Amino acid sequence: MEKLKKIKIGGDKLTMIAAIIVVFIIFSTLNHNFFTPTNIVNILVAGSLVGLVAIGHTYLIIAAQNDLSPGAVVAFSGVLAALLSAAGVPFGAVVLITVICGALIGVFNSFMVNKIKLDPFIATLVTQSVIRGFAYIICDGKPVSITDSTYLLIGKLRIFGIPLSVWIMIILIVVFGIILAKTKFGREIYAIGGNKDAARLAGLNPQRTILICFILMGILCAIGGIIFSSRMNSGQPAANVNLEFDAITAVILGGVSFMGGVGGMGGTILGIILIQSFNTGLTMVNVPSFWQYVARGALLLFALTTDYIRKQKRERELLEASMKNA
């Protein structure tokens, strides 16, 4: 059974790799500048923000949770950090305060889910609206310029020709991928996503695990907000609308089950590459922005449909295995 699972996971990843190759072939044919070193770096830079949010979504969705607020939290964090910097706060303190605020937003989300027992979609939709509103309120609806050279260096620094934001994404994906796959906490996430009641009866604390996952998402969004505002040279309250949907699409395409309990960071990496290549390609071949929304929605529908098919296959395999054992 274990061998079958490994083959299946490998097959899913091979399918994702094939899809990425097809996307590159199509858009390279339509625009010869698509498959160039410069554009590959641009895809990685644009995908770094989606990647940070996708890390958090990987944890949350495996735990059978979700979060619709990341785009708003990223925008709020960027504006807050820019305002603190403009007020003369040292960059280190700017990062610390912004990350703490991101963590507190995660605490608020987990409170609504754990204590008030709201569905994660409804709870985080509330947060999305409230935090986006605060992003506009604290800056009077206007972008906040950044002049601190240390702050701006985050968006400009390159190491071996690769922007710092990409390195940050890679490091965090590796670290949190190892935590998810190799630690007790990672196993708790899978157990809770598979069956919360059974996990509770086994002595686990689902509320604590969900709290940590939401805090993690808040921190990652805060980091993403700082990086994005540095790249844009300003904090922008209107930025990153629908960011969470790109991240969710990447995670589901990567093999994480929307029902929880299944998936891993390896598939999420491929999902990030596919969704960002797709988005960049649409822009480079001059697809109108309205049709880009349609295409992204269709890709999300495809990801959810694929997840449903995978779920049906898993259930059939479990049924067949139980009948053989009986």
Q: Read out DSSP for 204-221?
A: --HHHHHHHHHHHHHHHH
Average pLDDT over residues 299-308: 82
What are the tens digits of pLDDT across the range 227-263? 999 999 999 999 988 899 999 999 998 888 888 888 8
Instruction: List all residues 6 or more positions away from 172 whose beta carbon is below 8 Å from its beta carbon.
Output: 51, 52, 55, 220
Residue 258, domain extent: 2-325
Q: What is the pLDDT of residues 261-295, one digit of tens each?
A: 888 898 899 999 999 999 999 999 988 888 888 98
Task: Determine the pLDDT at residue 242.
Answer: 87
Count of domains observed in the chain = 1
Q: What is the CATH number of the domain that holds 116?
A: 1.10.3470
- For position 197, what pLDDT does the model report? 86
Q: What is residue 162's three-state secondary structure?
A: strand
- The model's pLDDT over 159-168, given as tens digits with 9 standing for 90+, comes to 988 899 999 9
pLDDT tier for residue 299 given thresholds of 50, 70 and 90: confident
- CA pair distance 171, 262, nearest whole angstrom: 23
Mean pLDDT of the chain: 89
Enter the tokens of residue 114. Answer: 């754990």
**pLDDT of 325:** 66
For 174, other C-beta atoms within 10 Å of its C-beta total: 12
CB 24 within 8 A of CB 35: yes
The tens digit of pLDDT for each residue in 4-61 reads 344 444 567 788 888 889 899 999 999 989 888 889 998 999 899 999 999 999 999 9
Q: What is the pLDDT of residue 75?
A: 96
